[in-house]
């Protein structure tokens, strides 16, 4: 575990572009799966939107398929 640096918390409006120049190097953990490494001086743009990847509740999907008879032979 390493230190986390933050200059605070800011509510970001949907589709608003935030630009940032990194004063240090590090890694951004995007969604628990993807990681983006950056170096000091890198310039980045961030934008939040609702068009990101869909989340699937695998347990509910399997349960629904089972109740609907999908797995019957």
Q: Using a CB cutoff of 8 Å and minimum separation of 24, what contacts does 6-14 make? A: 12/46, 12/48, 13/48, 14/48, 14/49, 14/50
- Between the alpha carbon of residue 65 and those of residues 34, 54, 59, 61, 62, the distances in Å are 29, 19, 10, 6, 5
Residue with token string 């950056």: 38
Instruction: Find the mean pLDDT for residues 3-31.
Output: 84
Of the pLDDT bands very low, low, confident and very high (cuts 50, 70, 90), residue 19 is very high
Q: What is the pLDDT of residue 67?
A: 94
Q: What is the pLDDT of residue 5?
A: 67
Q: Which of 50, 42, 39, 41 is nearest to 16 (CA)?
A: 50
Extents of the domains making up the chain: 1-73
> Considering the chain, what is the average pLDDT of its residues?
87
pTM for the whole structure: 0.54
Of the pLDDT bands very low, low, confident and very high (cuts 50, 70, 90), residue 42 is very high
């Amino acid at each position: 575990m390493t230190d986390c640096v933050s200059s605070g918390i800011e509510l970001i409006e949907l589709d608003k572009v935030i630009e940032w120049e990194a004063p240090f190097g590090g890694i951004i953990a995007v969604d628990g799966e993807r990681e983006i490494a950056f170096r000091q001086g890198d310039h980045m743009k961030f934008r939040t939107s609702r068009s990101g990847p869909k989340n699937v509740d695998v347990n509910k999907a399997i349960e629904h398929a089972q109740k609907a008879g999908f797995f019957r032979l």
